[in-house]
Amino acid sequence: MQKFHLSGALLLASFAFILPTTASQAGQQDFDASKSANSFVEIGAGARAVAMGEAFTAVADDVSALHWNPAGLGIVPNVQVLFTHNQWIQDVTFENAMTVFPGLGGNLGLAATYVDYGVMDKLSESGQPLGGFSASDLGLTLGYGLPVSPYFSMGAAVKSLTNSLDGQKKSSWAYDAGALLIWPEANLQIGLSVLNLGLSADDHQPSQVKFGMALMHLGDWLTLAADANKHFDQDAFQVNGGAECRLGFLALRAGYQYSSADLGLGGGLSGVTFGGGLRQYFDHFGVNLDYAFVPYGDLGATHRFAVTLEMGGQTTSPAQPPESTETAQPAPEKVEAVSETPVYSQAAEEKADAPIHNLPTPPKKIRAKQVGTQVLLSWKAVPLPHVWYNVYQQSEGNLLIKLNSQPVKKTSFRTGKLHRKKTYYFVVNTVDNLGLESTTSNTVKVRLK
Helical H runs in 150-290?
Answer: none
Residue of higher predicted confidence among 432 and 279: 279
Residue of higher predicted confidence among 433 and 3: 433
Tell me, what's the pLDDT at 311? 85
- What's the mean pLDDT in 264-286? 79
**Confidence label for 255 from pLDDT (cuts 50, 70 and 90):** very high
Question: Domain extents for the chain?
Answer: 2-311, 346-447
Cβ proximity of 315 and 283 under 8 Å: yes
**Confidence label for 139 from pLDDT (cuts 50, 70 and 90):** very high
Residue 150 has pLDDT above 90, yes or no: no
Tell me, what's the pLDDT at 336? 44
- What's the mean pLDDT in 72-77? 90
**Within 10 A of 129 (CB to CB), how many other CB atoms are there?**
9
The dihedral through the CA atoms of 53, 59, 63, 64 has a sign that is positive
Tell me, what's the pLDDT at 265? 56
Tell me, what's the pLDDT at 330? 39
Angle at 373 between CA 283 and CA 321, to 5 degrees: 35
Tell me, what's the pLDDT at 420? 82
Helical H runs in 31-107?
Answer: 48-51, 65-68
**Within 10 A of 172 (CB to CB), how many other CB atoms are there?**
18
pLDDT, mean over the chain? 80
Tell me, what's the pLDDT at 152? 92
Task: Give the percent of the chain with pLDDT over 70.
Answer: 78
pLDDT in tens, 196-218: 998 776 777 899 999 999 999 88
- 367, burial (CB in 10 Å: exposed 0-12, middle 13-18, buried 19+): middle
Residue 376 has pLDDT above 60, yes or no: yes
Task: Check residue 46 and report its DSSP letter.
Answer: S
**Within 10 A of 278 (CB to CB), how many other CB atoms are there?**
13
Alpha carbon 402 to chain centroid distance? 23
20/192 Cα distance (integer angstroms)? 10
pLDDT in tens, 343-355: 333 333 333 344 4
Residue 72 has pLDDT above 70, yes or no: yes
| CATH entry, 346-447, from 2.60.40.10, 3.50.50.60, 3.20.20.80, 2.40.110.10 | 2.60.40.10
Task: Check residue 25 and report its DSSP letter.
Answer: H
- What's the mean pLDDT in 250-257? 96
pTM equals 0.67
Letter string b/e over residues 51-63, b meaning 16 or more CB atoms within 10 A of that residue's CB: bbbbbbbbbbbbb
42/383 Cα distance (integer angstroms)? 36
Stated as kind and residue range, the H or E segment containing 98 is strand 93-103
Task: Give the percent of the chain with pLDDT over 90.
Answer: 41
- What's the mean pLDDT in 113-136? 84
Residue 61 has pLDDT above 50, yes or no: yes
Tell me, what's the pLDDT at 30? 34
Cβ proximity of 53 and 160 under 8 Å: no
**Confidence label for 402 from pLDDT (cuts 50, 70 and 90):** confident
Stated as kind and residue range, the H or E segment containing 411 is none
Q: What's the topology of domain 2-311?
A: Porin (2.40.160)
pLDDT in tens, 171-200: 999 999 999 999 877 889 999 999 999 877
**Confidence label for 19 from pLDDT (cuts 50, 70 and 90):** very low
- What's the mean pLDDT in 401-423? 85
pLDDT in tens, 328-343: 333 444 444 444 434 3
The dihedral through the CA atoms of 204, 92, 51, 415 has a sign that is negative
Measured in Å, how far apart are the chain's first and last C-alpha atoms? 34
- What's the mean pLDDT in 294-307? 88
83, 317, 371, 428 from 334: Cα distances, Å:
48, 28, 9, 19
- What's the mean pLDDT in 157-168? 92
**Confidence label for 264 from pLDDT (cuts 50, 70 and 90):** low
